[in-house]
Amino acid sequence: MAQPQQSAGAEAEQPPLRVGMVGYAFMGAAHSQGWRTVGRVFDLPRRPVLAAVCGRDAAAVRAAADRHGWAAAETDWRALIARDDVDLVDICTPGDSHAEIAVAALAAGKHVLCEKPLANTVEEAEAMVRAAEQARERGQLAMVGFNYRRVPATALARRMVAEGRLGRLRHVRVTYLQDWLVDPQFPLTWRLRREHAGSGSLGDLGAHIVDLAQYVAGERLSGVSALTETFVRERPLAGAVKGLAAAATGGTGQVTVDDAALFTARFPSGALASFEATRYATGRKNALRLELNGEHGSLAFDLERLNELSYHDGTESPAHAGFRRILVTEPEHPYLDAWWPPGHGLGYEHTFVHQARDLVHAIAEGRQPDPSFADGLQVQRVLAAVEESAEKNSVYTPIAV
């Protein structure tokens, strides 16, 4: 098995891939870790270089550059995308700036990685897809960062579904449960304002589970029936943000996004799906749970136990059939031949290493990375259908194609 130190040397004839990242907080830190680590673990055709990072405050972005290992710091994303020593722009800002930065970066000749959700509206996402398609003709590539596809256990689940181990799918059941908004005094951060975030739990958590459910099932949703709710409509204004949290300042403001979104959905194959995305599931911290039931078996995954996949093989004798735990740490499992010996598990941050790995390979090989901006647009259309259905009291709403 390749160990991190051993596999680092296989750098190829291709030039380094010089990355410029916009935003350096939660996702900025996670992506930095991915870019820093990926070439030390995986054999890569191009070696990522942390060329420059961008924020808006000069002292803060310089400190972030030093902490996370970026060579240079910029205070304007336009200056970052104009740099000759940047090949790929990695967008880790809130959704309100994704479209503008991505379209400009593609026009400037860069590859682009953009955090999810792709944009705040379908129209913005469509403009991003148009820009990506034009850039593709010039050899530039664009990807959206749905990192939960890169958990070895979810990638294994997809493989098992594609192999037909579950047979025809009947149910896809997904929840993404957090609880950081339970306190009504939690401040009004950008995630709670529609002009910054596009939507609330729906675009933040719902986008992830729509992408993951479709990825694992291997098909796209055709329509939804939805309910959304905003439980706490006014909150203290927010000061500096750290992670999901922030300090309160004086005064209050309106919450303009959903707090929770529940929806049922159909797959064209006839399978039924259900989704729940909330920040009010008291006691649940990052509980992304996925279960698939097919005619021959079932699979279940819980992000809070991300090295495990539960599998029930319905073709076994009922005398000894039952859910069993696959410890997803074997070299035969996705991504794991480059990591640690069996049983030495991975965590959340490794999904960003895997995301960087997959993107570097796609760029070096000149092929479209998954998920594409078009995939991100399709998720955006599902989110829009959820909002439309919720506005009409759950009327079943087909997803635009």
Ligand X SMILES: NC(=O)c1ccc[n+]([C@@H]2O[C@H](COP(=O)([O-])OP(=O)(O)OC[C@H]3O[C@@H](n4cnc5c(N)ncnc54)[C@H](O)[C@@H]3O)[C@@H](O)[C@H]2O)c1
Name residues contacting ligand X, limited to 78-97 (CB under 6 A).
Answer: 92-95, 97
Shortest reach from residue 22's CB to ligand X, in Å: 5
Shortest reach from residue 99's CB to ligand X, in Å: 11
Stretch that binds ligand X, among 17-25, 156-164, 225-233, 330-338 (CB under 6 A): 17-25
Shortest reach from residue 210's CB to ligand X, in Å: 13
Contacts of 236 (CB under 8 A, 6+ apart): 185, 187, 188, 248, 249, 251, 252
Smaller CB distance to ligand X: residue 25 or 237? Answer: 25
Q: How far apart are CA 395 and CA 401, in angstroms?
A: 18
Smaller CB distance to ligand X: residue 46 or 149? Answer: 149
Smaller CB distance to ligand X: residue 1 or 58? Answer: 58
Shortest reach from residue 310's CB to ligand X, in Å: 23
Backbone angles phi, psi at 257, to 5 degrees: -130, 170
Q: How far apart are CA 123 and CA 381, in angstroms?
A: 10
Stretch that binds ligand X, among 22-30, 134-142, 180-188, 324-332 (CB under 6 A): 22-30
Name residues contacting ligand X, limited to 130-169 (CB under 6 A).
Answer: 145, 147
Smaller CB distance to ligand X: residue 199 or 378? Answer: 199
Contacts of 266 (CB under 8 A, 6+ apart): 221, 222, 223, 272, 273
CB atoms within 10 A of CB 316: 12
Q: DSSP assignment of 148-185, as one string?
A: GGGSHHHHHHHHHHHTTTT-SEEEEEEEEE--TT-STT
The pair of three-digit structure tokens given for residue 79, joined into one six-digit string: 């200056």
Closest Cα to residue 326, out of 352, 306, 355, 346?
A: 306
Smaller CB distance to ligand X: residue 115 or 375? Answer: 115
Smaller CB distance to ligand X: residue 34 or 39? Answer: 34
C-alpha torsion angle, residues 115, 203, 335, 286 (rounded to 10): 120
Stretch that binds ligand X, among 6-14, 25-33, 229-237, 379-387 (CB under 6 A): 25-33
Helix (H, G, I), strand (E, B) or coil at 280: coil
Q: Residues 210-249: x/- map of binding to ligand X (CB under 6 A)? A: -------------------------------x--------
Q: How far apart are CA 282 and CA 73, in angstroms?
A: 39
Using CB under 6 A as the binding rule, whether residue 65 contacts ligand X is answered as no
- What residue has token string 């990591």? 339
Shortest reach from residue 77's CB to ligand X, in Å: 5
Name residues contacting ligand X, limited to 162-201 (CB under 6 A).
Answer: none
Cβ atoms of 95 and 117 closer than 8 Å? yes
Shortest reach from residue 1's CB to ligand X, in Å: 28
- Count of residues that interact with ligand X, criterion CB under 6 A: 22
- Going through 180-233 in order, the beta strands assigned E by DSSP cover 223-229
Shortest reach from residue 338's CB to ligand X, in Å: 21
Smaller CB distance to ligand X: residue 145 or 371? Answer: 145
- Beta pairing, strands 72-74 & 48-54: parallel
With CB under 6 A as the contact rule, the residue among 17, 22, 112, 216 that binds ligand X is: 22
Q: Residues 360-399: x/- map of binding to ligand X (CB under 6 A)? A: ----------------------------------------
**For residue 144, what is the enclosing H or E element?**
strand 142-145
Contacts of 305 (CB under 8 A, 6+ apart): none
With CB under 6 A as the contact rule, the residue among 46, 111, 116, 149 that binds ligand X is: 116
Stretch that binds ligand X, among 11-19, 54-62, 102-110, 209-217 (CB under 6 A): 54-62
CB atoms within 10 A of CB 248: 15
The pair of three-digit structure tokens given for residue 142, joined into one six-digit string: 């664009």
Smaller CB distance to ligand X: residue 160 or 255? Answer: 255
Shortest reach from residue 90's CB to ligand X, in Å: 11
Shortest reach from residue 203's CB to ligand X, in Å: 7
Beta bridge partners of 237: 188
Provide the binding-site residues for ligand X, judged by CB under 6 A.
22-28, 54-56, 77, 92-95, 97, 115-116, 145, 147, 204, 241
